[in-house]
Structure 1
Amino acid sequence: MITWIKRLALVVFLLLQASCSEWQPNTFTLVGELPPGFSYWAGVYYVPEPGTDCNIKDWRRTMPEHNRPWLGEYRSEIKINIKTIIKGCRMVVDDIDIKIFARWTDVGMGQTYDRAGLMFRTELEDKHKRIFNSKDESEFYGECYWVFKTSGKYRSLTKYIECRKDLERGERGKGKPSAIYARDQLPGKTIKMSIRLLDKEKPGVKDTWIEFPNGWKRCLGDGFEDPYGFCRGNTSDFSYYTGPYGEICTIYPGCEE
């Protein structure tokens, strides 16, 4: 009797061990490592699992969203399901649309954003696969910078953020911060989106500002009624611009010379 119980216990142990060795988590973690004052939104999109015959209409409306700013929610670290069921159809994660938010003033429409993204494939050549380190972490890198311009007859200052791949930290090619992974790489792993903010800001419209050692000056153009205000080689006639609080300024960044 005791021998039989021992054999049964051994069989159960081996079955459990085999089951645990085959089990994989159905999630991975996305972490946003962003500059102070930045945040991100993530929309996760799924497609029918390969080999699945599904007929779903308007299924994109059911996609989960994370860090919805209009609800005041934010977490830098979020869990993403790799597989899910939507309207009875087995789905797998296909891509994540990311918006990187930044705010340059607390007045009016002071928040702006640019995009980043992740893509996932069932099969992916090794040369395109990202590498995970010994901690099961992988990173992709981006850099953002502020762009400034003026609008209207009072030449009111506006700014927006632009982001791109960070070539200095090893990214290749042009475009928005992004990365691609094979789906079988994902279970239990962590993907970090590492974004840095460059010190250098840039004018949003060419030939409208001239740079001096102490900052940028706004070209006058043909006067304040000129909606474009191009410099056209005139390096001596400049206009003021209006800051976000209504202040009258002559130099950017800063205000007064």
Structure 2
Amino acid sequence: MKLLRAHLFLLISAVLLVGCSLVKSDTFIFTADLPPNFYYRASAVYVPAKGETCTVPGGKNTHVGFNRHWRKEYKPDSEIALYRTVSGCPMVVSHLQLQIYSTYGNDRGDFGVDKATVVIREELPAKFQKEFSVNDESYFHGQCQFLFRTSGGKRRIVKILDCKGEDENGVLARGRPVAGYTLDQLQGKTVKLQIKLVKEEKPYMGDTWVKVKNGWKRCMGKGFEDQYAFCNGNYKDFSGFMMPDGKQCTIYPGCTE
């Protein structure tokens, strides 16, 4: 009898294990491999599932946020639900809206931000679908660069973050980083955004800085009250400017010539 019970126990355990292995996860992990001082904020956007005619009043609770307070608490891994029911309406995730942040100074406004997107559909043409590796991970790539300019009467340096998509061979796209998946691709998988930062910065606006041997010099324009201060052919009169840390400089990024 004990032997029979032991066999039954092993059989039931095996059945349970097989059953569990067949159950697919209704979530996937989004994560990002980012340079130092980079962060992301994500919003998972949900729409009524295929065949559903229900609606959600005002679209309330159809967006789920991750890393909303990225300055205080940042987690690189976000678990995204594929399906949700909101106000009695069965919904599916349609895309992830991603904001990429990078800080460059100590003031609260010293950051640049740009966007990326993960598109999710019931069906997608094969050419728009990203593939997964044998370890159930999929990657999409981007390249970001800081564009610098001056702002205000003190001509303080501020930076704009400019991000472009990149393929596996390093070829830049015209638009921002984007990846596409179908719902059945994502169950239990991991999607990772990989961003690299271009070391060399460049001016945000043309004809405002002059390239010299050791960096860039700021054209004076009509004076410090001239916010645009285009060079307009005058490549001899330059102005000083203030770095984000308050240092007064004459050449960017090395400060002194």
Scaled by the length of structure 2, the TM-score of the pair is 0.89
Matched, 1:91 2:91: yes
Q: Corresponding residue for 1:33? A: 33
Distance 1:26 1:38 in 2: 29
CA RMSD of the aligned region, Å? Answer: 2.6
3-state secondary structure, aligned to 1:52: coil
Q: Deviation of residue 55 (structure 1)?
A: 2.3
Distance 2:226 2:174 in 1: 35
Distance 2:244 2:71 in 1: 26
Q: Deviation of residue 78 (structure 1)?
A: 1.3
Matched, 1:186 2:186: yes
State whether residues 67 and 74 of structure 1, in contact with CA within 8 Å, keep that contact through their aligned partners in structure 2: yes
How many correspondences in the alignment? Answer: 256
Q: Corresponding residue for 1:200? A: 200
Distance 1:80 1:230 in 2: 47
State whether residues 48 and 92 of structure 2, in contact with CA within 8 Å, keep that contact through their aligned partners in structure 1: yes
Q: Deviation of residue 68 (structure 1)?
A: 1.4
State whether residues 93 and 120 of structure 2, in contact with CA within 8 Å, keep that contact through their aligned partners in structure 1: yes
Unaligned 5+ residue runs, structure 2? none
Q: Deviation of residue 18 (structure 1)?
A: 7.0
Q: Do the aligned partners of residues 77 and 70 (structure 1) sit closer, same or farther apart at CA in structure 2, a change above 3 Å counting?
A: closer
User: Map of 1:69-218 to 2, 5 A cutoff?
Assistant: 69=69, 72-167=72-167, 169-170=169-170, 173-218=173-218
3-state secondary structure, aligned to 1:164: strand
Q: Please give the per-residue CA displacement for 1:199-242, whole angstroms capped at 9, x wherever unaligned.
A: 11011111000111200000112222323211122222111112
Q: Deviation of residue 247 (structure 1)?
A: 2.4
Q: Deviation of residue 167 (structure 1)?
A: 4.5
Q: Deviation of residue 116 (structure 1)?
A: 0.8
Q: Deviation of residue 245 (structure 1)?
A: 3.3
Q: Do the aligned partners of residues 182 and 115 (structure 1) sit closer, same or farther apart at CA in structure 2, a change above 3 Å counting?
A: same
Unaligned 5+ residue runs, structure 1? none
Q: Do the aligned partners of residues 102 and 173 (structure 1) sit closer, same or farther apart at CA in structure 2, a change above 3 Å counting?
A: closer
Give the AA of the match of 2:44: V
Q: Deviation of residue 170 (structure 1)?
A: 4.7
User: Percent identity over the alignment?
Assistant: 40
Distance 2:198 2:60 in 1: 35
Q: Do the aligned partners of residues 238 and 71 (structure 1) sit closer, same or farther apart at CA in structure 2, a change above 3 Å counting?
A: closer
Q: Do the aligned partners of residues 191 and 217 (structure 1) sit closer, same or farther apart at CA in structure 2, a change above 3 Å counting?
A: same
